[in-house]
A and B are shown apart, each in its own frame.
Chain A
Amino acid sequence: MDGHSPKLASIPASDSTVWADASPLLQAACTGLRDGELIHGDNFNLFAAMSALEIMDPKMDSGIVCTYYSIDEAIENGAAPIPISLDSTIDVQRTIDIMDHLLACEAAWHKGHSLAQTVFSCIYLLRLDRTAPHALLHSYCRVIRATCKAVVSVVSDARAHEEEDLFTMTYGLPLNGDGDDKCLSMLNAVEETISRQLRACKAASSKRRLPEDLEPLQSNSNLEEGFCKALLCRLRFRKHFFHVLACMKRPQGRGLESARKHIASCMTELESILKSADFIRSCFGESYEGDIDDKTTASGREPIGFDAMLNSRLSAPTPPRAIKILSWKKAVQYFVKLLHDLDVICSYPLDPHLESLLRFVVQFQISQPDLVARSHLQLLLVQDGKLYGRDPFFAVITKAAALPEATKNHDIQKNESILQLGMLVMNLLKILCTNAAWQRRKHGKFLQDWRVIYVQLELAFRNEFGEVSSSSNDENICMKIFQHILLWVEEKTYWIAFRFLILGFELELYSTSEYCMVYWYLYAVLTKLAEKTHLKIAVSYDIAKRKGKKKKDSPKDLARESRIPPAVLFLQCYICLAEGLTMILAALRNEISVFQSPGPFNTEQEKFVQHFELLQRACIPDHVSYPSYKESTTHACFSTLAMYNYFKDAQRIAKEVKSSFSNDPDRLAELRKLEQVAEHNSVAQNLICRLGALDPSLKVSFELSHHPFFATVVVKRS
């Protein structure tokens, strides 16, 4: 408008370019446009316009300066002084605050926030070299940096973090430091100095003289011992934690035992850290007011040297939302849990039996371990395309399919479908280490692949042995391998379908009005799973008992001969509960019209189709559809319910099978829960049958109070 050229050309004009004032052009365009019109071009339309930012809007423009324009400006303005204070006592206190806040930031990062907004909001860490004169802070920051780098590496390698990709974003952050591999020796040196100082002040307090003439940590001799202790446990925690990560990284689980020792030390130091809080708060001299539990430091003070906004431009064009750093207490709790989860992983005996491994991973996930722990587990399980970096997956599969040991060397492993099967098993293990939400989606997706592999293997089997009455020894072995593997693949497929369905409960995907169809489908899948499991076990008995016989018995005969194995009984307990719940829900719906939600736009059929689409597409199981669901449940009523109590069956089976699992505390614990559900539901069913249709004040609800996926029926009077 004024026609003057821009003052400071930060981008200089060149030979072929020149600065020109576009204000008149823009003004003309603005005048020419009417409200609601948009100038658009070939690659700029309304959709693209959505990415527009309004400059200077603090919600949208991450270039907005909040306090400091840059890290250097922050430092120039004294945001991160070195030394932190000229008073050595205050310097030590503030150093401890920084250490505590860094721990809280680290926990917040692990929990799912970005590194830039958490650990690297520390100005000292962003310019680590300038902390060199302050040995304590310098060595501590180095270990933090090296630790973060190690953790990022583990999580990136595991790639178990699809939705948690905020975690590994390190763009623009100074994560690589020269000499960081020496960080432990630096830390050890500082630890040694402070240890000597602690010994010295203990000697001084007991009036013994030490030959050394050490410089005290800080000027107040009454507080010296307390500060030394507070610092030592913090330094030692970092040292042992770094060792845990290094040990667990060693291939094939070679470092797990050492890792456990360091984990134990970490736990000890964390306890000492918590205990030091009293001393740290007391040496304030002032009484601290306010809620200390929310603070990110033991002292309750705000730490010096942190600014989360300095990195905002590194994250994205739009400024990141302000996050809440975990409180110091919660951070310590987080690390206690993390270490406990890592300890469980380190205690695992690397069982070559896939079935036990699957049970272990499922059990491990019940405590809802966080990303860092899960990534470590995944890296332990799958390394270099082998189980534990040690066992080829074909060997794992043959063992799981109850084939003789020598089978693992058979040429059939080069078969394309067998190779693909190996990949599927590997992926299954990786999937089992992810968070439940992602896990369920992946299970659903891979069902199709498992089905396809089964069909391919079956086809290959038939092509090889179709009409031929085999006589050659090798062909016999091939046939046996195929048979066993086919059975095993089917069983695994139903197991994945079962996991897919029950994860829906954990993730709260089902409303009570959908429980009937879910339990019905679960019943159908479990029935198949039990059948295949039984066949699989029976076939493995066959190996043990009938070694010399040439005659081939059908799997059905074998199944009839042997008693029902405990694993199958366990599933039958599930089946009874699923059937019982289906029927009671169907009866309630049919008799008193509860737990149905007719919407204006669709019916129960659409919900059925949506929930079970992936299973239906993979024909798991066959001949299961909405009409067959309706057929099974339309006639359920209180009088039919009274005729048979599936919950009593479940109770009986649970009691019976307990003795078979006396060495398995996890399964015993679950059996107890199943018994509780069965008992409660049996009583509820009787009540409903007697009073249900007559008493309108009876309110029935289904709560997952005893068991993660079998609901307890609760009957109340409203």
Chain B
Amino acid sequence: MEAMPEEKAEFEEAEIKYVSYGGEHHLPLIMNLVDQELSEPYSIFTYRYFVYLWPQLSFLAFHKGKCVGTVVCKMGEHRNTFRGYIAMLVVIKPYRGRGIATELVTRSIRMMMESGCEEVTLEAEVTNKGALALYGRLGFIRAKRLFHYYLNGVDAFRLKLLFPPPRQELSPSLDT
């Protein structure tokens, strides 16, 4: 029997609706997506920690009423820098490669920037070419390599995005 080719969903990018985390009704959608795609065992408290304290940083992507992607983040003070952190990013397989993840992450980062974050960080497996390319395009650099970060022995990159310093109001010229 030949392997069936992976089914790709057919859709126009404009059909994808992006919404900010809106409340309890979104929580099971996020949990199902993440539980399905990632192998980390997260309890419900982990999800609540993120979406309760920083609801404005989590986004969901819907296609015709079905949740197809999500991003979950936080931000806070870390060693004298106000920093955003991308904790989870998932898009279900049939919808990958169409810019949905990029859009989700971009919205979250924009929110972090507007909230005063100086930088954004996350970890990604060194073998995760897709994620590295996505974040690379958004301006992240590979700041560090973490040896055997994951329990399966794979290394990780710590990715970091530094925002430019906020534009300062130019003081009026003194010699007119």
Q: Which residues of A contact B (CB under 8 A)?
A: 35-36, 38, 46-47, 49-50, 52-54, 57, 59-60, 111-113, 163-164, 318, 320-321, 323, 435-438, 440-441, 507-511, 514, 597, 599-603, 605-607, 609-611
Contacts and interface: CB of A to CB of B under 8 A. Distances in A.
B175 interface: no
B31 interface: no
Interface in B20-51: 23-24, 27, 41, 43, 45-46, 48-49
22 contacts: A36-B24, A46-B45, A50-B49, A52-B43, A53-B43, A59-B41, A60-B41, A112-B148, A163-B146, A320-B151, A321-B151, A321-B152, A437-B155, A511-B136, A599-B137, A601-B161, A601-B163, A602-B139, A602-B164, A606-B139, A610-B143, A611-B141
Contacts of B155: 437
Interface of B: 23-24, 27, 41, 43, 45-46, 48-49, 52-53, 106, 109-110, 113, 126, 136-139, 141-149, 151-153, 155, 157, 160-164
B45 A50 contact: yes
B162 A46 contact: no
B124 to A, nearest CB: 12
- B45, B143, B155 — which one has the most chain A CB atoms within 10 A of its CB? B45
Contacts of B27: 36
Given A59-B41, A441-B144, A603-B164, A47 B49 contact: yes
A50 B43 CA distance: 7
B147 to A, nearest CB: 4
B148 A164 contact: yes
A112 B148 CA distance: 8
Contacts of B164: 602-603, 605-606
Contact of B45 (A49, A57, A510): A49
Given A50-B46, A53-B43, A112-B153, 20 more contacts: A36-B23, A38-B45, A49-B45, A57-B41, A163-B148, A321-B151, A323-B152, A440-B144, A507-B145, A509-B141, A510-B142, A599-B137, A600-B139, A601-B109, A601-B139, A602-B162, A602-B164, A603-B164, A605-B164, A607-B141
Given A511-B136, A601-B161, A318 B153 contact: no
A403 to B, nearest CB: 38
B141 A46 contact: no
Given A35-B24, A509-B157, A597-B137, A437 B147 contact: yes
Contacts of B149: 163
Contact of B126 (A53, A508, A597, A611): A508
A435 B147 contact: yes
A59 B53 CA distance: 26
State the main secondary structure of chain A at its contact with B: loop
B36 to A, nearest CB: 13
A432 to B, nearest CB: 15
Contacts of A52: 43, 45
- B23, B141, B143, B161 — which one has the most chain A CB atoms within 10 A of its CB? B141
Nearest to A506: B145
Contacts of A514: 141
A610 B145 CA distance: 14
A602 B41 contact: no
A609 B162 contact: yes
A59 B149 CA distance: 19
Contact of A36 (B48, B53, B109, B141): B48
A693 B145 CA distance: 37
A437 B144 contact: yes
Contacts of B162: 602, 606-607, 609-610
B2 to A, nearest CB: 22
Contact of A610 (B41, B109, B137, B160): B160
B45 A164 contact: no
CB-based closest 7 A-B pairs? A599-B139, A59-B41, A49-B45, A437-B145, A606-B162, A507-B145, A437-B147
